[in-house]
Amino acid sequence: MPKAPPEPDFLYRRLLGPRWEDLPEPLKGLHALDSRLSAQGRARVERGDPLLARLVAGVIGFPPAAEDVAVRVTFLRRGDAEVWKRRFGRRTIQSVQEVGRDGLLVERFGPLAFGMAVSWDGTRLELHLRWQRLFGLPFPLCFAPRILAFEHLSAGCFAFHVEISHPWTGLIVRYQGWLEPV
């Protein structure tokens, strides 16, 4: 009797294990990446006002504040990693995501790397910061940004919420919206 083909080895399937099967289809659809996938939607972007918050947001490349901006995300699989290219209007932010040796999601933005636990609570796929590195060197969590990041369903669509702040700056950026595969 022929064997069934193995299940595809998606990044978030590896991170979530058996909880992957509990995800609603719109979330699975954007994380079931064989090679390349694009999604588009709309978002609201807020930025912090203090000068230091604006400087940090500008250096990292976060989009400017906007009540309603077009969003396009391109996901590209490279081996076991994924390249996420997020375009808000004319501003693009790119990161690389992969499973770290500690089993956490590692997301890299240039010289910054963040190790995050991924969890599914039945309604939200959440990211929880566990460590950060700068140029590969551990950076104390007491200096880490505060990150609230989750994906969920809204009106049956894939929706996202990302909020980054810091005790020294207050809000750096908050963006939330929805995406549909193209």
What percent of the chain is modeled with pLDDT above 90?
80
The answer on pLDDT for 40 being more than 70 is yes
Q: Is 156 among the domain residues?
A: yes
Number of domains in the chain: 1
pTM value is 0.90
Plot region of 17 (φ>0 → left; ψ -120 to 50 → alpha; else → beta): left
> pLDDT (tens digit, 9 = 90+) per residue, 129-161?
999 999 999 988 888 899 999 999 999 999 999
Return d(Cα 4, Cα 15) in angstroms, integer.
23
What's the confidence (pLDDT) of residue 60?
Answer: 85
Q: What is the average pLDDT across 55-64?
A: 88
Structural domain for 24, as ranges: 11-181
The answer on pLDDT for 50 being more than 90 is no
CATH of the domain at 138: 2.40.128
Q: What is the average pLDDT across 81-104?
A: 96
What's the whole-number average pLDDT of the chain?
Answer: 93
Plot region of 47 (φ>0 → left; ψ -120 to 50 → alpha; else → beta): beta
Q: Is 43 among the domain residues?
A: yes
Q: Is 83 among the domain residues?
A: yes
Q: What is the average pLDDT across 97-105?
A: 96
pLDDT class of 58 with cuts at 50, 70, 90: confident
Q: Is 4 among the domain residues?
A: no
Q: Is 116 among the domain residues?
A: yes
pLDDT class of 65 with cuts at 50, 70, 90: very high
